[in-house]
Amino acid sequence: MTKHWTPLAFVYLALSLAGLIGTWSFNILAIVGLRDFIGDWVGSGPAVSSLTVDLLVAAVAGSILIIVEARRLGMRWGWLYVVLSGLTAFAFTFPLFLAMRERTLQAARAAAEG
């Protein structure tokens, strides 16, 4: 089960799970509270709007990285991480991609060593 799983891959995987649990805890609270999710997201003041722009730019840059790096390394389904980020959270899919990338790199290192 731990084939090609490096300590760094496990760190990324733990961050991915923290991102999923952390974001969806608040998403569930918003759904249960019948909140205007988009309105809360962009209309709760300059600090929240600043954070929104910050995270959106980082997510777009990270999405480009995911697609380019997955293609470069021959990882299939790289685009799926980007699509899933819209359904779950980028805080989940980006570290998950990094964990899978680390496994791919480790497998390549192991193959090169013989």
Report yes or no on whether pTM surpasses 0.85: yes
Give the pLDDT confidence of 47-60 residue by residue, as tens digits.
Answer: 677 788 889 999 99
Better-predicted residue by pLDDT, 31 or 68: 68
| Number of domains the chain contains | 1
Across the range 98-112, mean pLDDT stands at: 96
Residue 95 lies in a domain: yes
Please check whether residue 2 lies inside any domain of the structure. no
Residue 31 lies in a domain: yes
Does some domain include residue 87? yes
Decide if 1 is inside a domain: no
pLDDT at residue 19 in the model: 93
- Helix extents (H) in the chain: 7-32, 37-43, 46-73, 78-87, 90-113
98 contacts 14 by C-beta, under 8 angstroms? no
Domain that holds residue 107: 7-113
Q: In angstroms, rounded to a whole number, what is the distance separating the alpha carbons of residues 34 and 43?
A: 16
